[in-house]
Amino acid sequence: AINPRRLWDSLMATARMGGTAKGGICRLALSDADREARDWLRGACAALGCTVTVDEVGNMFALRPGRRPDLAPIAFGSHLDTQPTGGKFDGILGVLAGLEVLRTLDEAGFDTAAPLMLVNWTNEEGARFAPAMLGSGVHAGVFDRAYADAREDRQGVRFGDAIAAIGYRGAAPAGSVRLGALFELHIEQGPVLEAEGRTVGVVTGVQGMRWYEVAVTGREAHSGSTPMGLRADALLGAARLVTEVHAISLAHRPAAVGTVGSLEVAPNSPNVIPGAVRLTVDLRHPDDAVLEAMETRLRAAAAALAGDSGLEVRLARIWDSPAVHFDAGCIAAVRSGAAAAGLPTRDMVSGAGHDAAYIARIAPTSMIFVPSAGGLSHNEAESTTAEECAAGAQVLLNAILAYDRA
Amino acid sequence: AINPRRLWDSLMATARMGGTAKGGICRLALSDADREARDWLRGACAALGCTVTVDEVGNMFALRPGRRPDLAPIAFGSHLDTQPTGGKFDGILGVLAGLEVLRTLDEAGFDTAAPLMLVNWTNEEGARFAPAMLGSGVHAGVFDRAYADAREDRQGVRFGDAIAAIGYRGAAPAGSVRLGALFELHIEQGPVLEAEGRTVGVVTGVQGMRWYEVAVTGREAHSGSTPMGLRADALLGAARLVTEVHAISLAHRPAAVGTVGSLEVAPNSPNVIPGAVRLTVDLRHPDDAVLEAMETRLRAAAAALAGDSGLEVRLARIWDSPAVHFDAGCIAAVRSGAAAAGLPTRDMVSGAGHDAAYIARIAPTSMIFVPSAGGLSHNEAESTTAEECAAGAQVLLNAILAYDRA
Ligand SMILES: NC(=O)NCCC(=O)O
Ligand SMILES: NC(=O)NCCC(=O)O
């Protein structure tokens, strides 16, 4: 049995790395705070005698040998990076519960047949470098290293330079570390488990998700002396798109979601009609065909805007992660792991993207969810109780052992 | 007669101070580029033997004695600060045409009865420190020095600290420098003069203008796992206000204008539902009663948004500059000045705010407009020809001499 107290203490210790005044974490990928958390994790794994390998894009792999070196490792983990105003559990729980699994097995002197491997994936959030799930995507061959290196944050810093700057450009070629399977424990980030009073989500898949960058270009002019009819107001056009993204999502209710999360105005002065707006659109649906229909409507809205407003509208899809269906064997291992712990479960499809979604392309994979209070995530107030964290870690351990036996 | 070539050369020389790659100027109030332009102006005035006084809020006054020291000076000028992506004429023309007036009189050895005074007002644009027309507003007693000092730019730098940093906190108490009248030459910043083929606008007043700051607060949450019905999306709410500001303006067409020029999203991440948006609203109309009706509708829209969306909406009016009617004597001087130069004129009300609007509260005041190509201003492509600049400067000189004679 895992040690709930030790797990909670490690969550609270690492929460100080990038910790915010409001009790959240700002630990953007490849920031100094990220390096601090990585160094801490490396130390904790080394203390258990694990070999830590870092690959070219900064993914960290801590290996614990098994009785049968011929078997590919059973992997588990998540990510240590956060949103700018993120919480203390998103990603971190999956990594630290994995560490707790290793510590528990060590304490018990238990050796699995397959080697075990704890993973910390780079830049899962996509908040600093779009798209999300970049490190796991490179590992799974969805992206190549050159693509990752060329990603830029909003200050124009390249991913490749940022990773070198924090000293986490590893020697292992991308994708070279072998994984026999992957289990990822994560908070739900939605309201379902809490509403139904269940502790564990057996995650059967991940919905499809696409990101777009939209650039609306108008003409800067004086707010006081330019008649309404002579304007090309980029922000007025952008507002129409924000409203349309909402309408598109409602049209495919209840499963569809659509969000404009980021929007920037230039020159951003009270008495200048905005000349340029850049915004991102995030569209999601469990069914790729519906997602395609949503995209079609978004493109039509952008074209209509350009057609009747004198604005130039450029729309580029910058990310496409199709719907994922997890491995039946891994799902069964999670289900039996929860049953062994006597915890009430519910099958569910993840609304959020996860590293597991990309790894599912190259290895049997599934996920475990635990509740998020109020369904809140990507928020400093994100909250999961110590008991729920412990329940998740226990199911993770049970699932790994069940998979190892099978 | 003024020297068109000398005027143009001084415009082009100062355009390099904060000059942009696209041929515009970025010379935000109290920036290093502003200090450079101020130093240049001080030197040019000193070279003419003028006494330069700087007041507590950085307004600069260059005095040329007249034959009758008992008379209050006839003032003229405008501002040297620009928008972040401003043009080469907005404000600057009025200051440099004033310098050209002084140079022309010197060359001709002509002494006026009243002393003359060239003025550069601080922070007219309001782009760095809201509201606009801050220096002239303090001079006219609309604002006090403490209010001005406490204005903050978007980086949190206070006006009072910024003025000290560039060495332009003068010794003269705010409002202590006496003005007998004020003439301000400015580009029209709108399309009317060009469309009608007239060179000179005889400006009879300035429309009313109000600025608001709106803070929309929602709840940050995950873009993928938060159902549409559980969201409090601050940007979706802000988009409704942007659209409503446009609708309010169209409802009072053709004279009304309304603009959201600045809008900022937090935390501004593609996969986080925006938790907070701050935006500015700029409403204008020549009739204060209509402006009041526009404000009422804006307040109703903000209240309705808060009522049916779960968002918190705070709206504060941060600036109110009522409609201004200029002095009949000064208007007549401008009209006769244009007639003497043989230039076609048109009476007009200014859509943009100007320092003259505040000075009109304490001294007889009027303005002269020259055309803006395509009506474009607050844009790096802002353009007025050398001939039009010269025509404006000649009318300024003629108007000053006519007023001095009267
Ligand atoms: N789990 C999580 O928050 N991932 C970020 C990627 C996304 O779903 O936007
Ligand atoms: N003339 C000018 O651009 N003034 C700025 C103040 C305003 O009208 O917004």
CB neighbours (10 Å) of residue B342?
9
Q: Is A271–B261 a contact, with Cβ atoms under 8 angstroms apart?
A: yes
Partners of A319 in beta bridges: A211
Segment B73-85 shows an average pLDDT of 98
Q: Which of B229, B260, B377 sits opposite A222 (nearest CB)?
A: B377
Question: Chain B window 13-42: which residues touch A at a Cβ cutoff of 8 Å?
Answer: none
Ligand 1, residues A79, A90, A93, A260: which to mutate, most atoms within 8 A of Cβ?
Answer: A90
The C-alpha of B39 sits at a distance from chain A's nearest C-alpha, in angstroms, of 26
* Radius of gyration (C-alpha) of chain A in whole angstroms: 22
| Confidence check: pLDDT of B301 > 90 | yes
- Summarised one tens digit per residue, pLDDT across range B7-39 is 999 999 999 999 999 999 999 999 999 999 999
Q: Tell whether the torsion through CA atoms of B7, B12, B15 and B20 is positive or negative.
A: positive
pLDDT attached to residue B5: 98
- Residue B285 has φ and ψ, to the nearest 5°, of -165, 145
Strand partners, A279: A214, A263
Q: Is the pLDDT of residue B309 over 90?
A: no
**Could you identify the residue written with the tokens 């920036």?**
B31
Contact list, B375 vs chain A (CB under 8 Å) = 221, 225-226, 230
Backbone dihedral angles phi then psi of residue B365, each to the nearest 5 degrees = -145, 150
Question: Over the stretch B315-345, which tens digit does the pLDDT of each residue have?
Answer: 999 999 999 999 999 999 999 999 999 999 9
Nearest to A216 by CA among A156, A163, A277, A130: A277
Quote the pLDDT of residue A309. 86
Q: Is A349 at the interface with chain B, CB within 8 A? A: no
Chain A residues inside the 8 Å CB shell of B188: 225
B377/A contact by beta carbon, under 8 A: yes
Q: Is the CB of B225 under 6 A from ligand 1?
A: no
Which atom in ligand 2 lies closest to the alpha carbon of residue A270?
9
Name the residue among A125, A275, A379 with its Cβ closest to that of B221.
A379
Ligand 1 center–CA A361 separation, angstroms: 18
Closest residue to A377, CB basis, from B221, B227, B352: B221
Asked if A377 is an interface residue toward chain B (Cβ–Cβ < 8 A), one would say: yes
In the structure, what pLDDT confidence band is assigned to residue B365 with cuts at 50, 70 and 90? very high
Q: Residues enclosing ligand 2, CB less than 6 A?
A: A 222, 224, 271; B 90, 124-126, 132, 189, 352-354
Nearest atom in ligand 1 to A125's CA: 5
Mutate to test the pocket of ligand 2, among B81, B121, B124 (most ligand atoms within 8 A of CB): B124
Q: Which residues of chain A have a pLDDT value below 50?
A: none
Distance from CA of A377 to the nearest CA of B (A): 5
* H-helix or E-strand spanning residue B135: helix B134-139
The interface residues of chain B toward chain A in range 197-216, judged by CB-CB distance below 8 A, are 207, 209, 211
First to last CA, chain A: 20
Q: For residue B236, which residues of chain A lie inside 8 Å, CB to CB? A: 242-243, 246, 260
* B269/A127 touch (CB, cutoff 8 Å), yes or no: yes
Asked if B83's CB is within 8 angstroms of A189's CB, the reply is no
Q: What integer pLDDT is reported at residue A334 of this predicted model?
A: 98
pLDDT of amino acid B39: 98
A284: nearest CA partner in chain B: B224
A337 Cβ neighbours under 8 A, 6+ residues apart: A368, A394, A395, A396, A397, A398, A399, A400, A401, A402
A-B contacts (CB, under 8 Å): 271
| B224 Cβ below 6 A of ligand 1 | yes
- Among residues of chain B, what percentage have pLDDT more than 70? 100
Across the interface, whether the CB atoms of A350 and B243 are under 8 A apart is answered no
Closest alpha carbon to A4 in A341, A330, A403 = A341
What pLDDT does residue B308 have? Answer: 80
CA distance readout (Å), B350 to A225, A346, B194, B257, B289:
7, 66, 15, 12, 17
The pLDDT score that the predictor gives to residue A308 is 81
Q: What is the mean pLDDT of residues B278-297?
A: 98
Question: How far is the alpha carbon of A121 from chain B, nearest alpha carbon, in Å?
Answer: 18
Which pLDDT score is estimated for A183?
98
B53 DSSP β-pair partners:
B61
| pLDDT tens for each residue of B179-234 | 999 999 999 999 999 999 999 999 999 999 999 999 999 999 999 999 999 999 99
pLDDT at residue A19 in the model: 98
Let me know how long chain A is. 406
B50 vs chain A: nearest CA distance in angstroms?
34
